[in-house]
Amino acid sequence: VSLKRVSIIGLGLMGGSLALALKRAGLATHIVGCGRQVLIDRAREMGAVDSGSASAAEAVVGSDFVFLCTPVETSMRLMREIAPHLKSGALLTDVGSTKQSFADAAREIFGAQAAARVLPGHPLAGREVSGLEHATADLYSGSVWALTPLDESSHESHQQLHVAIEALGARVVVTSPEEHDRILAYTSHLPQMLSTALALVLERRFTEKQDPALQIHAGGLRTMLRLAASDPAMWEQIAASNAANIAEALECIEHELRSLRESLGDAEFRKHFEAAREFAKFVKS
Amino acid sequence: VSLKRVSIIGLGLMGGSLALALKRAGLATHIVGCGRQVLIDRAREMGAVDSGSASAAEAVVGSDFVFLCTPVETSMRLMREIAPHLKSGALLTDVGSTKQSFADAAREIFGAQAAARVLPGHPLAGREVSGLEHATADLYSGSVWALTPLDESSHESHQQLHVAIEALGARVVVTSPEEHDRILAYTSHLPQMLSTALALVLERRFTEKQDPALQIHAGGLRTMLRLAASDPAMWEQIAASNAANIAEALECIEHELRSLRESLGDAEFRKHFEAAREFAKFVKS
């Protein structure tokens, strides 16, 4: 399979890694990068892209596959900007963390053609670092890559994208944009909120950061604070674009925490811990 | 420094590792292990102990330092059992996760002698695995070991224990039993409750464990569920012995989660994330 001419809009960790991975796997004949000039220059030096343009509208001209590798809200704005410049038959996809709002924007911009022209995607391969300097051809290898078609219709370009993603070593899971966002609120956004809330509690409790008390902790604290170091700008966009689902997930955890608190020292407490352990072991395996 | 004759009551991960570490560092002339006969046999084979007894009262006779390496409630019961059999001048310590209830029990059992005879301890070196088969001489190396004296008086045996622990590669932090438990509610027990609550939410949300939706998650989920696999029996005792402090910490996180939920999509949200990130980066370094 070859995606032939590919445009990658956004040369950060996700876009840069995608360009490197496509190059290494020989899945594109030509890759156009779009970003600030300094990033284009750097991406060319890295052998990630063949040419570049600081204008997204220019960068997509003649390409068969276009990947929007920018934060959710930016990708929606750029989709509107590039739509008139796409080659007929070109497939547009993205790597955003939420899919419902992007799918809605696609329907609005492309109308009856939306399901054929746009296949929203989400590779679950983020890291706490960002930027082209951390890009690696291995980022997507072994990860899950969600594809969320706008309807059930089948299209050859969709199939090509699916096969190319698997050729990068990722595992494709297909679901709807709506269901994707409902799931991610629990499996990704909720874990992030917990880590952030834990950091906030500790920050208020130990106002003096040099407090020697903070030395008294085991490995579990660092583990649970790892996600709290994630990019606030990215999470602001995720939260805004999936607020209702995240609010529901937060209400669930507030309920569970209250149950644990009310069961401290009684028999229910151990039952909670046993059920949690069984589930955690299942996810681990 | 040498602790001379040492008794280790409880041959699980903590006790077994302590015996191996003391042996390797040459910090004891003789180590008596106490546990079920099969564990004593195994510990002798491993070269962790020199002799053993299934009776704690017998195992402590003639020893200069006695380590209670059992869960909190068991250690309190055993302290009462062995107290009449301790050699004059022997120092008793433990490795329990909470210190206030153990310190209270020591005061009740030893009266005016309590502060001299008992120095409660807590090496922050647990793992999600348990049992002698996971014991390793390296468990305490690089970890923090809290010592929580019952008062401010100084004793030579306390100083010897302090030096021996540092000779194992651990860093000693001294605080009061009360303050220890207040701190740990935030730095250890709260992270554990969050991981357990997350597992409970996901278990209820994805009732069918084979649900393909559960595949759609990034590394963050596994990270946040890691602690949920911890031993329920151990946590039941920790929760019972530190219930008031844990309840306070849980109320704090419930409050922060509600704040995050109410700020989804507004400017406060980003401020929360920025404060959390700054704190997380600090703890990491």
- Inter-chain residue contact B175 with A213, CB threshold 8 Å: yes
- Assess B188–A contact: CB distance below 8 Å, yes or no: yes
Residue A226: which of B183, B216, B223 has the nearest Cβ?
Answer: B223
pLDDT, tens digit (0-9, with 9 covering 90-100), for A67-124: 999 988 999 999 999 999 999 999 999 999 999 999 999 999 999 999 999 999 999 9
Considering only CB atoms, which chain A residues are within 8 Å of B195? Answer: 220, 224, 276, 280
Residue A60's closest CA among A104, A10, A1, A16? Answer: A10
Q: Which pLDDT value is given to residue A86? A: 98
Q: Which amino acid, residue A176?
A: S
- Inter-chain residue contact B279 with A203, CB threshold 8 Å: yes
CA angle B175, B181, B186 (to 5 degrees): 110
Q: Span A196-219, mean pLDDT?
A: 84
Is it the case that residue A210 has pLDDT exceeding 70? no
Considering only CB atoms, which chain B residues are within 8 Å of A273? Answer: 196, 230, 232, 235-236
Q: Which pLDDT value is given to residue A130? A: 83
- Inter-chain residue contact A201 with B240, CB threshold 8 Å: no
Q: Which pLDDT value is given to residue A260? A: 97
pLDDT, tens digit (0-9, with 9 covering 90-100), for A135-189: 999 999 999 999 999 999 999 999 999 999 999 999 999 999 999 999 999 999 9
Strands B121-123 and B144-147: antiparallel
**Is residue A214 very low, low, confident or very high in pLDDT (cuts 50, 70, 90)?**
confident
Q: What are phi and psi of A135, to 5 degrees?
A: -65, 140
**Is residue A209 very low, low, confident or very high in pLDDT (cuts 50, 70, 90)?**
low
Q: Which B residues 193-222 touch A at CB under 8 Å?
A: 193-206, 209, 212-218, 220-222
Mutate to test the interface with B, among A141, A171, A178, A205 (most CBs of B within 10 A): A205
Q: Which pLDDT value is given to residue B212? A: 74
Sheet order of strands, B171-174 included:
B121-123, B144-147, B171-174
Distance from CA of A163 to the nearest CA of B (A): 18
Residue B21's closest CA among B118, B145, B119, B158? Answer: B145
Q: Span A60-70, mean pLDDT?
A: 97
- Inter-chain residue contact B283 with A243, CB threshold 8 Å: no
Q: Which pLDDT value is given to residue A219? A: 76
Mutate to test the interface with B, among A73, A195, A201, A209 (most CBs of B within 10 A): A201
DSSP per residue, B127-186? -S--SGGG--TTTTTT-EEEE--SSS---HHHHHHHHHHHHTT-EEEE--HHHHHHHHII
Which helix (H) or strand (E) segment is B229 a member of? none
Share of residues in chain A with pLDDT > 70 (%): 97
CA distance A69 to A52: 15
Predicted TM-score (pTM) of this structure: 0.87
Say if residues A168 and A22 touch (Cβ distance below 8 Å).
yes
Q: Which pLDDT value is given to residue A100? A: 96
Q: Which pLDDT value is given to residue B265? A: 85
Residues (pLDDT < 70) of chain B are: 126-128, 208-210, 284-285
CA angle B87, B89, B92 (to 5 degrees): 80
**Is residue A10 very low, low, confident or very high in pLDDT (cuts 50, 70, 90)?**
very high
The residue to which tokens 């969709």 are assigned? A158
Q: Span A250-270, mean pLDDT?
A: 96
pLDDT, tens digit (0-9, with 9 covering 90-100), for B127-155: 667 899 999 999 999 999 999 999 999 99
* Beta pairing partners, A66: A7, A92
User: A142-146, A220-224, A273-277, B215-219: lowest mean pLDDT where?
Assistant: B215-219
Distance from CA of A43 to the nearest CA of B (A): 26
Q: Which pLDDT value is given to residue B206? A: 86
**Is residue A208 very low, low, confident or very high in pLDDT (cuts 50, 70, 90)?**
low
